[in-house]
Structure 1
Amino acid sequence: MFNKIWLALIALAFFVSCTKQNEFETLALQGRTMGTTYHVTLVGKSNQIDKTQLQADIDAILVDVNNKMSTYQSDSELSLFNQNTSTDAVALSAETAKVISKAIDIGMQTHGALDVTVGPLVNLWGFGPDGRPNKVPSDSKVESIKTHIGLDKLTYDQGHLTKSDPKVYVDLSAIAKGFGVDQVADHLESVGVADYLVEIGGEMRLKGQKLNGENWRIAIEKPESFDRAVQQVIEPGDNALATSGDYRNYFEQDGVRFSHTIDPTTFKPINHKLVSVSVITSTCMEADGLATALNVMGPEKAFDFAKMHDLAVYLVVKSDTGFDVLYTEQFKPYMK
C-alpha cells in the first residue's frame, strides 16, 4: 500500500511539473538604466503576460527613479536639491523621501560609513558625473570640500529634507540602484508574477523558482580585475542581494590603486584589504546601502558589525596567497 501511495505521489508531482512547464514560460527582459544594464527573468502564464507592456512598465519605473535621484541629470529632483542654495526644508517625492530616510538610517547605524554627502569628494576623485581626469587631487582641494561633508548637515523630517550648509551635495548612488530593483520587483508582484529575478548592475532581488522548479542560483564573482570567475554559488531564496567591491571601478597613479569608494572619515578612497562585500536582506535598497557601508569599514570592522547586527554577510579579503573568505552564520544557509 505504501509503495502504491509513493508511486502515486511521484506521478502527481511529475504531472504538476509538466503542467506548469506547459502552461508557463520563462520571459527575459533587459535594457539600460543608471549607467548600467538591467535584466529581468520571470516565470508566468504564456497567455496572461503582455511582454511588450511589461517592458514598457519596467522602463517607465526606472526612468522615474532616474528623474528623481540621478546626479547625472541636472533636472532630477535630487540635482535640483543640490543646486538649491537655500537652507529651508524641501518637500521630497515619496520615493526620494523613502531612499533618503533609509540612507540616513544606515548612515547613523554604521556611524557614518554610509554618507550620502560625500558626492563632492566622489566627483573630485574623478568618479562622479563631472568625469574629471583620473588623477589624485591636491590636499588643498580636499580641504576646501570636506567642510561641506557630513550627515550632521542633513535633517530629514516627514518627507522634508533640510541642509544646514548651502553647499551640501547629496549623492544616492550607493542605494538608489537597489531601490530601483525593489521598485521593479514590487511591480512584478503587483501584476501577479510570483517567480522572478530582477538585476540592475549586479544588485538583485529574487522570489520563487525557475520554470523547472529549481531555486534561483546566483554566483558571487571572484574579485579579480580582468578575469570573470565564480567565488561562491548561493541560493538567496526570496531575498535581495547586493555586492560592493573596488576591483573594477578604480584608477591607478604611480603604481597606487585608488578605489571609487570614498571613506567619509579620511575623505579619501578606501585603502584596506577588503575587496568584496555581499549582503543578503529582504530589500535590495537596504542590501545596497549596507554593502557600501561595510565595504568602507574594512574587513575586521565590517565582520564585527555584521555579527553584532545578525546580518547575512560574505566578505572576500585579499591576502598574500590570494583571497580569504569570511561569512556570518546568517549567510551560511544560502551557500551551495
Structure 2
Amino acid sequence: MTTAIKKPSRFQFLWLLALIAATVYILSHKTQPAYHSIEGKIFGTLYSITYQYNDDLKPDIEQELNRLDASLSPFNKESIITKVNNNEGVKTDTFFQKVFRCSMEISAKTDGAFDITVAPLVNAWNFGFKKETWPTQKMIDSLLQITGYRKVIMRNDSVIKQDPRIMITCSAVAKGYASDIIGELLDKKGIKNYMINIGGEVVVKGKNPKQEFWHIGINKPIDDSLAVNQEIQTILKLTDAGIATSGNYRNYYYKDGQKYTHTIDPHTGYPVTHNLLSATVIAQDCMIADALATAFMVMGFDKAKAFANTHPNIAVYLIYSDPNKELRNWYTENMENYLTDKN
C-alpha cells in the first residue's frame, strides 16, 4: 500500500520563504559587531579612532603608532629622523623611506612649496622642535643656504645631505601617513567601517554607526591658539578617502603687533602673510592630502587654486579673506560631491 505525499500549497511555500528570510535578517543583524572608539596621543598630538569590530584593537593600534613615532617623530630622541638630523649615519626604515619619497614627489610638483628641509627655518621662528632666539635677516639668509629639497637624497636606505647642517621635518606629512598606516592595519583585520583622526588628518572607510557616510567638519578659520573655538565652516560627507586641512589660525603668535604664523615659505625663509587662511584637500590617501594642504598654505590662494584646477584627482576647499577681511570660500567642482551645503 502506498501513501500519497501532499504537495505544499503556494501559501505554505511563500510563508516558509518569508520565515527563512526573516531568520537570516535577524541573525545577520544580531551578529553585526559594535562600533568601538579609542583615543590617545602620538607625535605630540591627539588621535581618535572609531571602527566596527568585535575586539578591542587599541593595543595593536598603539603598537603601530609607536613604530611610527620611533621612525618619524623629531620629539623622540631615539627616532630615525632625529638620528638623521644628528648625522648619525642611520639606516632608515620603510616608514621613513615612503614618507621621504612622497615628500620629494610633492616638492617637485609644487615647485618646492612643500619642502621637508624647512626644519631649521621653522625652528628659527620658534615653531619647531627646537626653540631659537629671534631670527635676524642674516640668520634667515644663512638658513636658506641649507634649505631646499634637492639638497637631500635617499641612497641605499640612507639620507645623503649636501650639507650636514641640513635638518628634516616630516611634521607636515607624518600625521596623514600615520592615518593611512592605521587604515591599512584595520583593512588587514577585515574591518569595513572606520574613521581615523590623527591630529586632524582623517581617513574614512565605509559608513558611520548611523550607517551614513562619515561627516567631517571644516573649522571656520578664526584665530584661536588654544583650539577653544570649534565653529564649523561646512560639513563634508565622504567615505573611502583621506582628508587633511592646513591653516594659520591655530599655530601662531604676535610680536610687536605683528602676527607670525607657523607656515614658513621655504623660498623666502619667512612666515607667509597672504590671505589664504585654510586649505582642505581630499585625496585617495591622507599622506598626499596632508602634504598638498601644507603646500597650498605656502602658495597662497591664486597658486593653490590654479594647482587644484589642473589636478582633478584631488578635491579642494579653500577659505580666504577678501580685501574687507570678510571670509570667502572657493572649491573645486568635484568638492560638490562631498558638501552637505554648497555655501
* TM surpasses 0.5: yes
- Partner of residue 333, structure 1: 337
Cα offset for 1:18? Answer: 9.3
Secondary structure of the corresponding residue to residue 288 of structure 2: helix
- Deviation per residue, 1:21-65 (Å, 9 max, x gap): 763211101101111100000122xxxx321xx101111111111
Q: Secondary structure at the match of 1:161?
A: strand
Q: Are 1:179 and 2:177 an aligned pair?
A: yes
Identity across matched positions, percent = 34
| Whole-Å separation in 1 of the counterparts to 2:31 and 2:289 | 36
Which amino acid is 1:126 matched to?
Answer: N
In the alignment, structure 1 residue 156 sits paired with structure 2 residue 154: yes
| Cα shift readout 1:214-250 (whole Å, capped 9, x = no counterpart) | 1111111111124321111101221000000010100
Q: Distance in 2 between matches of 1:302 and 1:157?
A: 32
Question: Residue 306 of structure 2 is aligned with which of 267, 286, 304?
Answer: 304
Which whole-Å CA distance do the structure 2 matches of 1:257 and 1:41 have between them?
Answer: 37
Deviations 1:315-335 (A, max 9, x none): 000122521101011212111
Q: Distance in 2 between matches of 1:23 and 1:152?
A: 51
CA contact (8 A) 2:202 2:243 kept: yes
Figure out how many residues of one structure are paired with residues of the other and give that number.
Answer: 318
Task: Note the C-alpha offset of 1:106.
Answer: 0.2
Asked if the contact 1:240/1:287 (under 8 Å) is kept, the reply is yes
Counterparts in 2 of 1:16-35, with a 5 A limit? 16=25, 19-20=28-29, 23-35=32-44
Q: Are residues 20 and 294 of structure 1, via their aligned partners in 2, closer, same or farther at CA, if it must alter by over 3 Å?
A: farther
Tell me, in whole angstroms, the C-alpha distance in 1 between the residues paired with 2:35 and 2:327. 36
Give the direction of change, closer, same or farther, for the CA distance of 1:19–1:124 in structure 2 (3 Å limit): same
Q: Distance in 2 between matches of 1:17 and 1:174?
A: 47
Instruction: Name the counterpart of 1:109.
Output: 109
How far, CA to CA, are the matches of 1:18 and 1:50 in structure 2? 19
Identify if the C-alpha distance between structure 1 residues 282 and 20 changes in structure 2 by more than 3 Å, giving closer, same or farther. farther
- Whether the 8 Å CA contact 2:124–2:131 is kept in 1: the answer is no
Within 2, Cα distance between the matches of 1:101 and 1:26? Answer: 35
Specify the SS of the correspondent of 2:116: coil
Determine whether 1:165 maps to 2:163: yes
1:114-154 CA distance string (max 9 Å, x none): 01001001001001112446xx4211221222211111211
Match of 2:214? 216
Q: Which residue in the other structure is 2:6 paired with?
A: none
Of 68, 73, 82, the residue aligned with 2:71 is 68
Structure 2 counterparts to residues 81-92 of structure 1, below 5 A: 81-84=84-87, 91-92=91-92
- Which segment is superposed worse, 320-329 or 287-296? 320-329
- AA aligned opposite 2:216: I
Structure 1 or 2, whichever has the larger Rg, is 2
Query: Residue 147 in 1 paired to residue 145 in 2?
Result: yes
Partner AA of 2:222 in structure 1 = E
How much does 1:161 deviate? 2.5
Aligned-partner residue type, residue 50 of structure 1: D
The residue type equivalent to 1:303 in the other structure is: K
- Relative distance call for 1:62 and 1:249 in structure 2 (3 A) is same
Equivalence for 1:270:
272
Offset, 1:159: 3.7
Residue equivalent to 1:124: 124
Partner Cα separation in structure 2 for residue 271 and residue 21 of structure 1: 56
**Aligned residues of 1:30 and 1:39 also touching (Cα < 8 A):** yes
The question of whether the paired residues in 2 share the 8 Å contact of 1:115 and 1:151 is answered with yes
Range with greater deviation from structure 2 (153-162 or 18-27): 18-27
Equivalent-residue separation in structure 2 for 1:91 and 1:196 (angstroms): 34
Equivalent-residue separation in structure 1 for 2:330 and 2:309 (angstroms)? 11
Letter in 2 for 1:325: N
User: Given residue 331 of structure 2, which amino acid in structure 1 is its aligned partner?
Assistant: Y
User: Are the equivalent residues in 2 in contact too, given 1:239–1:282 (CA < 8 A)?
Assistant: yes
- Work out the CA distance in 1 between the residues paired with 2:171 and 2:31: 41
RMSD (CA atoms): 2.4
Match of 1:95 in 2: 95
Distance 2:185 2:141 in 1: 44
Measured in 2, the distance between the counterparts of 1:24 and 1:172 equals 36
The residue number in structure 2 matching 1:322 is 326
TM-score after normalising by structure 2: 0.87
Q: CA deviation at 1:85?
A: 7.2
CA distance in 2, matches of 1:272, 1:249: 16
75 and 265 in structure 1: CA distance in 2 versus 1, 3 angstrom threshold: same
Shift of 1:156: 2.7
